[in-house]
Amino acid sequence: MSHPKRAEVFTRDTERTTWHDETLWFVRQKRDKAVYAVPEFQELRELASQIKTHTLSRLADYLEQFEAQAKANGVHVHWAANAEEHNAIVLDIIRQEKASSIVKSKSMLTEECHLNPYLLRHGVEIVDTDLGERIVQLRQESPSHLVLPAIHLKKEDVGATFFKHLGTAEGEVDPQVLTEAARQHLRARFLTAEVAISGVNFAIAETGSIVVCTNEGNADLAVNLARVHIASMGIEKLIPRLSDLSVFTRLLARSATGQPATTYTSHFSRPAAGKELHIILVDNGRTQQLGRPDFRASLKCIRCGACMNTCPVYRRSGGHSYDFTVPGPIGAILSPNIDMRQHASLPFASTLCGSCTDVCPVKIDIHTQLYKWRQVIAAADEIPASKKWSMRLLSRVLARPGMYELGGKFARVGLRFVPHALTHAPGYNPWAIARELPEPPPQSFREWFKQTNPKP
Amino acid sequence: MTATARERILAATRANHFEENPLPTVPQFTGDASVERFTEVLQSIGGQIVRIPVGQPLAEVVQQLFPAAGPVASPLLPATITIDEQTPTAVLDTVDVAVLGGIFGVAENGCIWLPEANMLHRALPLITQHLVLVLSQQNIVATMHQAYALVTDVGDYGMFIAGPSKTADIEQSLVIGAHGARSLTVLLTA
Amino acid sequence: MKVALFIPCYVDQFYPQVGIATYQLLHKLGIQAEFPQKQTCCGQPMANSGCEQDAVPVYHHFVDTFQGYDYVVAPAGSCVYHVRKHFNIIEQTPAVQHVREATYDLIDFITTILGVTEIPGVFPHKVGLHLSCHGQRGLHQANESEMTPVRDGHLRRLLKSLDGIELTELDRNDECCGFGGTFCVSEAAISARMGQDRVQDHLRNGTRVLTGGDMSCLMHLEGIVRRQKLPMRVMHAAEILNGTIL
């Protein structure tokens, strides 16, 4: 199913669409307030962009530096070329530990690798500990937003899920009460977990450290209690210097939720005595994206979700309409790299309004990349045939003034005489589902001009 | 198998290196480093701040703040529970209040730097029901640039803490006390 | 100063009054614009659909048509943005470079090239300004809410200079209207919903005359206003300015 089809289904519930739009717009407004309060915010964006671009331009060197430092720190470093390799490494570590209780904090990479279903197939169950992720996990859904995984759900939905799985009272919808229930339920898991998996927000080449940012504290609680900590990271998470974090920590939370900082910004360099830290460096299509000059800037992404909150399409179509791990504008430029045919409709799920580019804290030219993916997708013949041929025809007409003048006249005159019911039939004219066509005037501008300015 | 993955990834990455863009020098953007600013921001993110008069013992302050406290863990005052790196999880889970020493605070975002050396156990700042951080009001910097200029070595483990654990995952309603400490109190000393 | 009018295809065919207002407004400001009859389109519909290569002959035709002029002026920021930004795929001959630089949106041309910042006239209505994304974020005609809370821009200032006008303050100053070229039919449900929300914002805040500098957004919004039979007129800014100026 394509994006427009799924989006159409989402918008059928008018009230929920309104709610979804307004809730995310509220997050965008919080972001604005935080951004306006930092006079150097635009300079920080530029610095962040330059640091990331620099890192990508010589990524292999930084990866080697990071690996050497991390190993010197007593960290186990693994490399995974793709999702399968990543998942196999995780399973192997779990089996070596003979672990049966495993918890995981927020990691979009493990979502991308479909780690949970993989482990389930091998008899290993993981409990997601981020509240939003736990909610969608219990509902057997996927996150619909990078930072707000359950933003597609209302408290009534969560209440029903917790009633079913956590034994809260039927009809309980108070977020305070529901969160407390999740706290109690998950605390038991934290206490017994043998292996804790986390994502990585930043990896510092010069020190071999990783940085994890959360508000809930679930990542730190989990990895500091379990004997084994597995941190999965895409290879694009690297930054060269510890001091570069000053730029990124100032941008991340403000862009994501409008907070001045995430509650916990944790730096892991060495495992505690008697414990293990494993870092898995994952490619899974990233080196391929690095090899596409028009699109490699997408690898600068720090997963703040600001482009989703600002996107007028995302806010009205919901994260699941993208049918990709990373939804929204950034997902629409990452997904064709993974599977162009499957995600062919995503770069077209945009008006190219450019707001995503303007909120992006690392200045990814998102809307320009959307435009460029459209060219690549059409050239690969992955757009609907009707569109392709009509565009070819249009080109012929528009390069020939005589044909154009005649064609325009036909359209205009045609519209004046064909009955409204026919020109506005929704089956033939998607424009007319909500809009009237322009009222065709008797005379075009060029006809008027000729008349008023006769050639001397 | 992983060795080959390493070689494949590094080779593919290196093959796609592009003209080097210089690594920029990050300016030391500064700003308001006042106690007032720090206090205002910390309160806005759900933390509370208590100024300790000179000479008042910490234990007394904590006693006043948490009159009915369960086990109190701290290297800074007479604790009612002993915590170290070896403390089993079940014991950690009983801690009600942890009183730890923060190194410095950041006025722009309410962050407080807490290195592993000051934690007793890595999980303690998270697993305790209530967290109290003691901070000298002399040690407040304006921005994260000054913060990372001070943290030249993050050590084995270290964290910035900004307020109590929180979530807004249900309908964007802010709830304090997700998985970590339910409250954060900063005791500001002279 | 040799100035050519570029009247985009849909304005030519469906909104001739906007072309006429543009022409007359420029005339009143001392510019005798020409209208090269062989002009057609900037090629954006094809390019935004991914068929940039199909648009190449249209680009060449555009350059061919307008290369002899000092300025090319259009009442449509989106088309101007397309010429400036996306004509980069054809060989950058001096003619191509010139046309890309010389193509201006009407409001930009009036304010930055002609230096006109006030229009003497009266327009005693509650006017809502719709900012086109390509004009605002692409051509930087107005401040962006992503960057600053200050709502300012060329067109806003020009309109403000009219006597009796009351500019309505929107809840979302610069949200996209959802037109998006072929997006309006390929993503019809979302496009419609975005347009409806935009119109509601204006309605809620008292707009009686909805205006803007880009006729494509306005065509979409007008279609919704008329479908819902709302008490609102949709006019291109050129029509307002031309109608009031003495």
Of A355, A376, A443, the CB nearest to C16: A443
To probe the interface with A, which of B26, B44, B153 has the most A CB atoms within 10 Å? B26
Residue A387 maps to a domain: no
Residues A146 and A245 both lie in one domain:
yes
- DSSP assignment of C69-96 equals -SEEEES-HHHHHHHHHHGGGS---HHH
Q: Which two tokens stand for residue C170?
A: 């929107």
Chain A positions touching B114 (Cβ under 8 A) are none
User: Could you read off the pLDDT of A91-133 as tens digits, one per residue?
Assistant: 999 999 999 999 999 999 999 999 999 999 999 999 999 999 9
Q: Using alpha carbons only, how large is chain C's radius of gyration in Å? A: 17
How many CB atoms are closer than 10 A to CB B77? 17
Q: Which of residues 28-67 of A touch C (CB under 8 A)?
A: 32, 35-36, 42
Asked if the C-beta of A238 comes within 8 angstroms of chain B's C-beta atoms, the answer is: no
Q: Which of residues 142-181 of C touch A (CB under 8 A)?
A: 144-149, 172, 174-176, 178-181
Residue A385 maps to a domain: no
A131-138 vs A175-192: helix crossing angle, rounded to 10: 90
Residues A186 and A111 both lie in one domain:
yes
Q: Is the dihedral of CA A365, A367, A368, A369 positive or negative?
A: positive
Task: Give me chain C's average pLDDT, please.
Answer: 96
Q: What are phi and psi of C5, to 5 degrees?
A: -90, 135
Asked if the C-beta of C4 comes within 8 angstroms of chain A's C-beta atoms, the answer is: no
Residue A326 maps to a domain: yes
Residues A356 and A427 both lie in one domain:
no
pLDDT score recorded for residue A456:
59
Mean pLDDT in residue range B158-165: 98
Q: What are phi and psi of C211, to 5 degrees?
A: -135, 175
User: Looking at the DSSP assignment, which residues form a beta bridge with residue A267?
Assistant: A211, B158
Chain A positions touching B121 (Cβ under 8 A) are 224
- Of A284, A303, A326, which closes a domain? A284
Q: Which of residues 321-380 of A touch C (CB under 8 A)?
A: 348-355, 357-359, 371, 374-379
To probe the interface with A, which of C193, C200, C216 has the most A CB atoms within 10 Å? C193
Domains of chain C: 3-113 (no CATH), 126-244 (3.40.50)
Give residues with Cβ within 8 angstroms of C216, minimum separation 6.
C8, C10, C76, C78, C132, C179, C181
Q: Say how many domains are in chain A.
A: 3
Residues A112 and A250 both lie in one domain:
yes
Give residues with Cβ within 8 angstroms of B147, minimum separation 6.
A246, B104, B106, B111, B113, B141, B160
Q: Is the pLDDT of residue B125 over 90?
A: yes
Interface present between B and C (3 or more CB pairs within 8 Å) = no
Residues A316 and A264 both lie in one domain:
no
Q: Is the pLDDT of residue A385 over 70?
A: yes
Which residue, among B174, B171, B177, has the nearest Cα to A158 in the 3D structure?
B171
pLDDT score recorded for residue A426:
67
User: Residue C230 burial by CB count (10 A; 0-12/13-18/19+): exposed, middle or buried?
Assistant: middle
pLDDT score recorded for residue A425:
75
- Strand-by-strand arrangement of the A276-282 sheet: A76-80, A276-282, A228-234, A195-198, A102-104, A126-128
Which residue, among C182, C183, C177, C163, has the nearest Cα to C210 in the 3D structure?
C177
CB contact under 8 A, C16 and A444: yes
CB B172 within 8 A of CB A23: yes
Of B2, B143, B180, the CB nearest to A221: B180
Q: Which residue of B has its CA nearest to A227?
A: B89
Of B151, B162, B175, the CB nearest to A176: B175
CB contact under 8 A, A378 and C49: yes
CB contact under 8 A, C16 and A448: yes
pLDDT score recorded for residue C236:
98
Q: Is the pLDDT of residue B2 over 70?
A: no
- Of A379, A408, A441, which closes a domain? A379
Residues A77 and A190 both lie in one domain:
yes
Q: Which residue's entry shows tokens 């986390």?
A: A198
Q: What are phi and psi of B146, to 5 degrees?
A: -70, -35
Q: Which of residues 102-141 of C touch A (CB under 8 A)?
A: 133-134, 137-138
Q: Is the pLDDT of residue B111 over 60?
A: yes
User: Could you read off the pLDDT of A134-176 as tens digits, one per residue?
Assistant: 999 999 999 999 999 999 999 999 999 999 999 999 999 999 9
Residues A180 and A314 both lie in one domain:
no
CB B170 within 8 A of CB A148: no
Is residue B184 helix, strand or coil? strand
Mean pLDDT in residue range A256-284: 98
Is residue A76 helix, strand or coil? strand
Chain A positions touching B5 (Cβ under 8 A) are 79-81, 85, 283
pLDDT score recorded for residue A192:
97
What's at A144, amino acid-wise? S
Task: Give me chain B's average pLDDT, please.
Answer: 96
Spatial distance between the Cα atoms of B153 and A239, rounded to a whole number of angstroms: 16
Residue A10 maps to a domain: no
CATH of the domain at A177: 3.40.50.10420
Note the Cα C182 to chain centre separation in Å. Answer: 17
pLDDT score recorded for residue A404:
80
Give residues with Cβ within 8 angstroms of A345, minimum separation 6.
A2, A3, A4
Q: Is the pLDDT of residue B1 over 60?
A: no
Q: Using alpha carbons only, how large is chain B's radius of gyration in Å? A: 20
CB A284 within 8 A of CB A113: yes
Strands A228-234 and A202-204: unpaired
A217 Rama class: left (phi>0) / alpha (psi -120 to 50) / beta: left
User: Residue A428 burial by CB count (10 A; 0-12/13-18/19+): exposed, middle or buried?
Assistant: exposed
- Of A345, A379, A413, which closes a domain? A379
Estimate the share of chain A in helix, then strand, then coil, as percent rounded to the nearest 5: 55, 10, 35
Band (pLDDT 50/70/90 cuts) for residue C246 is low
Band (pLDDT 50/70/90 cuts) for residue A301 is very high
Q: Which two tokens stand for residue A355?
A: 């707001």
pLDDT score recorded for residue B3:
61
To probe the interface with C, which of A353, A355, A410 has the most C CB atoms within 10 Å? A353
Band (pLDDT 50/70/90 cuts) for residue A400 is confident
pLDDT score recorded for residue B152:
87
Of C19, C23, C187, the CB nearest to A4: C187
Residue A85 maps to a domain: yes
CB contact under 8 A, B165 and A215: yes
Of C41, C176, C224, the CB nearest to A435: C224
Distance from the Cα of A105 to chain C's closest Cα (Å) equals 31
pLDDT score recorded for residue C161:
95
CB contact under 8 A, C37 and A450: yes
Chain C positions touching A438 (Cβ under 8 A) are 10, 14-15, 219, 222-223
Q: What are phi and psi of C138, to 5 degrees?
A: -80, -50
Query: Torsion angle, CA of C127/C130/C136/C137, rounded to 10 degrees?
Result: 150
User: Looking at the DSSP assignment, which residues form a beta bridge with residue C126?
Assistant: C166
Strands B130-136 and B97-101: parallel
CB contact under 8 A, B89 and A225: yes
Spatial distance between the Cα atoms of B142 and C57, rounded to a whole number of angstroms: 57
User: Could you read off the pLDDT of C129-149 as tens digits, one per residue?
Assistant: 999 999 999 999 999 999 999
Q: Is the pLDDT of residue C29 over 90?
A: yes
Model ipTM over 0.95: yes
CB contact under 8 A, B126 and A293: no
Q: Which two tokens stand for residue A425?
A: 């039939």
To probe the interface with A, which of C49, C86, C233, C239 has the most A CB atoms within 10 Å? C49
Spatial distance between the Cα atoms of C223 and C39, rounded to a whole number of angstroms: 26
Counting as contact any 3 or more CB pairs under 8 A, the partners of A are B, C
Quick one: DSSP state of residue C128?
Answer: E
Chain C positions touching A355 (Cβ under 8 A) are 133, 137, 146, 174, 176
Q: Interior CA angle at A322 toward A320 and A326, to 5°? A: 90
Distance from the Cα of B141 to chain A's closest Cα (Å) equals 13
Task: Give me chain A's average pLDDT, please.
Answer: 95
Is residue A195 helix, strand or coil? strand
User: Looking at the DSSP assignment, which residues form a beta bridge with residue B140?
Assistant: B105
Residue A390 maps to a domain: no
User: Looking at the DSSP assignment, which residues form a beta bridge with residue A229?
Assistant: A196, A277
User: Could you read off the pLDDT of C101-123 as tens digits, one per residue?
Assistant: 999 999 999 999 999 999 999 99
Of all helices (H) and strands (E), which one includes residue A179?
helix A175-192
User: Looking at the DSSP assignment, which residues form a beta bridge with residue C29?
Assistant: none
Chain A positions touching B15 (Cβ under 8 A) are 287, 291
Spatial distance between the Cα atoms of A26 and A21, rounded to a whole number of angstroms: 9
Rounded percentage of chain C residues whose pLDDT exceeds 70: 100
Residues A410 and A375 both lie in one domain:
no
To probe the interface with A, which of B7, B113, B179, B184 has the most A CB atoms within 10 Å? B179
Q: Which domain holds residue A164?
A: 38-284
Q: Is the dihedral of CA C75, C78, C79, C84 positive or negative?
A: positive
To probe the interface with B, which of A136, A153, A215, A279 has the most B CB atoms within 10 Å? A215
Spatial distance between the Cα atoms of C82 and C57, rounded to a whole number of angstroms: 15
Quick one: DSSP state of residue A190?
Answer: H
Chain B positions touching A243 (Cβ under 8 A) are 26, 145, 148-149
CB A361 within 8 A of CB A302: yes
Q: How far is CA B59 from CA A8, A285, A304, B99, in A?
A: 62, 56, 41, 10
Of A60, A151, A242, the CB nearest to B154: A242
Mean pLDDT in residue range C63-85: 97
pLDDT score recorded for residue A399:
82
pLDDT score recorded for residue A199:
98
Q: Which residue's entry shows tokens 């000054």?
A: B146
Q: Which of A74-88, A380-394, B65-79, B84-98 has the lowest mean pLDDT?
A: A380-394
pLDDT score recorded for residue B166:
97
Residue A18 maps to a domain: no
CB C135 within 8 A of CB C141: yes
Q: Is the pLDDT of residue A370 over 60?
A: yes
Q: Is the pLDDT of residue A65 over 60?
A: yes
Quick one: DSSP state of residue B169?
Answer: T
Residue A322 maps to a domain: yes
Q: Interior CA angle at C201 toward C200 and C202, to 5°? A: 90
Asked if the C-beta of A418 comes within 8 angstroms of chain B's C-beta atoms, the answer is: no
CB contact under 8 A, B22 and A80: no
User: Looking at the DSSP assignment, which residues form a beta bridge with residue B166?
Assistant: B176
Spatial distance between the Cα atoms of A74 and A80, rounded to a whole number of angstroms: 19
Of all helices (H) and strands (E), which one includes residue C227?
helix C215-227
CB A342 within 8 A of CB A382: no
Asked if the C-beta of C226 comes within 8 angstroms of chain A's C-beta atoms, the answer is: yes
Spatial distance between the Cα atoms of A211 and B36, rounded to a whole number of angstroms: 29
Domains of chain B: 31-189 (3.40.50.10420)
